[in-house]
């Protein structure tokens, strides 16, 4: 007597496996990601999500954010 793919136990096992694998990226890579910011010329201020860094530099941003705006400012340059 084998389990078919449509049996409730098999479906439950597949659901548990899918949920555990979806969390795998956060476990393996963490919840934050380092984003390198380079500008030409260097020495600009890069800001995102309450962090700021002088370029070249690294911002440490949350992975779960879908869209992130990084604002770049430097004296003598007009922001777009």
Please write the tens of the pLDDT for every residue from 5-38: 556 665 666 666 565 555 555 566 688 999 999 9
Instruction: State which residues form the domain around 48.
Output: 31-74
Residues 39 and 11 both lie in one domain: no
Share of the chain above pLDDT 70, in %: 62
Task: Write out the H or E segment, with its range, that includes residue 73.
Answer: strand 71-73
Whether residue 70 sits in one domain with residue 50: yes
Q: Is pTM, for the whole model, over 0.95?
A: no
Same domain, 69 and 39: yes
Return the sign of the alpha-carbon dihedral for residues 12, 14, 15, 16: positive
Cα–Cα dist 21/34, whole Å: 23
Same domain for 68 and 55: yes
64 in the same domain as 36: yes
Sequential DSSP letters for 2-58: PPPTTSHHHHHHHHHHHHHHHTHHHHHH-SEEEEEE--SSS--EEEETTEEEESSEE
């Amino acid at each position: 007597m084998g389990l078919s793919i449509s049996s409730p136990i098999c479906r439950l096992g597949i659901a548990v496996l899918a949920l555990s694998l979806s969390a795998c990226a956060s476990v393996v890579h963490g919840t934050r990601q380092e984003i390198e910011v380079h500008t030409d010329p260097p020495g600009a201020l890069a800001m995102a999500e309450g962090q700021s860094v002088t370029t070249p530099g690294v911002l440490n941003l949350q992975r779960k954010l879908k869209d992130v705006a990084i604002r770049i400012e430097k004296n003598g340059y007009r922001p777009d």
